[in-house]
């Protein structure tokens, strides 16, 4: 057991943080070596198992990411953009794998990952599930096959605690559709509609976000033309699918050269 990769989970008390900790603990291919929470959090100094309401796991919640990440083979990070940028710098110092599930990152945040990727193996995706990454490839394929007579709309639904919109997954799907069509998403993206918007512009890709209750994550890509429409849909009903994907990425990254990768690389789904 001691020769399996040591994993650190950041944002330990979060919805994904707790799911990731359980997933790593259940695996015989990885070992939980540290968990990080924000300075001042109630859980700091407690055993993570106890803090999560279960049996002790012999791992103490730390507010010192530098010290914890230094002993990791991989950091799995589903937190918030500013924290993720900071953790990328620490993963680079530790020369380890940084799996990033955090969404809502701006172009400026993403630019800050570049220097870190010279030393860390960064695997980042707005969705770590196998199903969504397959849907990304299908979306690209369908968009390439259809012309602009088909209007493309991406509709996503999430729980009422989500802070960013459109979801990272919706943006991945929109990028895939734009790539399939050979256009830049920035040039054709319509983020929601409200008021006297005018008629829909041919060739544009629309995004719509529903927020409610405890919805884990649902994504539809609609291709609508006169007389017919196609919907590609993914429904996540359990966060475990994201956590399993993230752990797979952390293991895949071991021994891989530094740089930026995504789940298409991990899952062997990349076609170009």
Which residues are the active-site residues?
158, 162
Provide the 3-class DSSP secondary structure of residue 243.
helix
Name the closest residue to ligand LZUJQKHR (Cβ): 217
Asked if 240 and 101 count as a contact pair (C-beta separation under 8 A), the reply is no
Cα(267)–Cα(146) distance, rounded to whole angstroms? Answer: 26
Binding partner of residue 125 among ligand NDP, ligand LZUJQKHR, none, CB under 5 to 8 Å per kind? ligand NDP
**Could you tell me the strand order of the sheet in which 217-225 lies?**
189-191, 205-211, 151-158, 217-225, 228-236
**Is residue 159 marked as binding?**
yes
* By CB under 6 A, residue 121 contacts ligand LZUJQKHR: no
Asked if 205 and 188 count as a contact pair (C-beta separation under 8 A), the reply is yes
* By CB under 6 A, residue 162 contacts ligand LZUJQKHR: yes
Which range of residues in 6-14, 140-148, 166-174, 221-229 is near ligand LZUJQKHR by CB under 6 A? 166-174
What are 201's two structure tokens?
């512009």
What are 87's two structure tokens?
């953790």
- The residues in 152-171 that bind ligand NDP, with binding defined as CB under 6 A, are 168
- The residues in 121-140 that bind ligand NDP, with binding defined as CB under 6 A, are 125-128
- E strand residue ranges, the chain: 6-10, 31-36, 61-62, 74-77, 97-100, 121-124, 151-158, 189-191, 205-211, 217-225, 228-236, 259-261
Which range of residues in 21-29, 140-148, 162-170, 196-204 is near ligand LZUJQKHR by CB under 6 A? 162-170
- Identify the CA nearest to 78 among candidates 163, 173, 156, 170: 163
* By CB under 6 A, residue 104 contacts ligand NDP: yes
> How near is the Cβ of 241 to ligand LZUJQKHR at its closest, in Å?
9
Cα(35)–Cα(43) distance, rounded to whole angstroms? Answer: 10
Give yes or no for a cis peptide into 76 (omega within 30° of 0).
no
Number of residues engaging ligand LZUJQKHR in binding (CB under 6 A)? 9
* By CB under 6 A, residue 13 contacts ligand NDP: yes
**Is residue 198 marked as binding?**
no
* By CB under 6 A, residue 92 contacts ligand NDP: no
Binding partner of residue 158 among ligand LZUJQKHR, ligand NDP, none, CB under 5 to 8 Å per kind? ligand LZUJQKHR
Decide whether 16 or 59 has the Cβ nearer to ligand NDP. Answer: 16
Residues facing residue 34 across a β-bridge = 8
Which range of residues in 1-9, 25-33, 109-117, 160-168 is near ligand LZUJQKHR by CB under 6 A? 160-168
Residues that bind ligand LZUJQKHR (CB under 6 A): 103, 126-127, 158, 162, 167-169, 217
């Amino acid at each position: 057991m001691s020769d399996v990769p040591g994993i650190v989970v950041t944002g330990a008390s979060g919805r994904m943080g707790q799911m990731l900790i359980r997933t790593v603990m259940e695996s015989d291919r990885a070992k939980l070596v540290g968990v990080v929470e924000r300075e001042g959090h109630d859980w700091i100094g407690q055993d993570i198992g106890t803090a999560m309401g279960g049996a002790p796991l012999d791992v103490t919640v730390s507010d010192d990411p530098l010290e914890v990440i230094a002993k990791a083979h991989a950091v799995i990070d589903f937190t918030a953009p500013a924290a993720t940028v900071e953790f990328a710098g620490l993963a680079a110092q530790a020369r380890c794998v940084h799996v990033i599930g955090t969404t809502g990152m701006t172009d400026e945040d993403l630019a800050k990952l570049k220097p870190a990727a010279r030393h860390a193996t960064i695997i980042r995706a707005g969705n770590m599930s196998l199903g969504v990454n397959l849907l990304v490839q299908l979306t690209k394929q369908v968009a390439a096959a259809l012309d602009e007579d088909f209007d493309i709309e991406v509709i996503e639904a999430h729980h009422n605690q989500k802070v960013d919109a459109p979801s990272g997954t919706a943006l991945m799907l929109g990028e895939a559709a734009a790539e399939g069509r050979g256009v830049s998403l920035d040039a054709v993206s319509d983020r929601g509609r409200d008021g006297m918007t005018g008629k829909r512009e041919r060739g544009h890709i629309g995004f719509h976000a529903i927020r409610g209750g405890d919805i884990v994550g649902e994504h539809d890509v609609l291709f609508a033309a006169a007389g017919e429409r196609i919907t590609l849909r993914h429904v996540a009903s359990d966060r475990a699918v994201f956590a399993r994907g993230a752990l797979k990425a952390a293991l895949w990254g071991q021994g891989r050269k530094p740089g930026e990768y995504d789940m298409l690389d991990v899952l062997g789904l990349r076609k170009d």
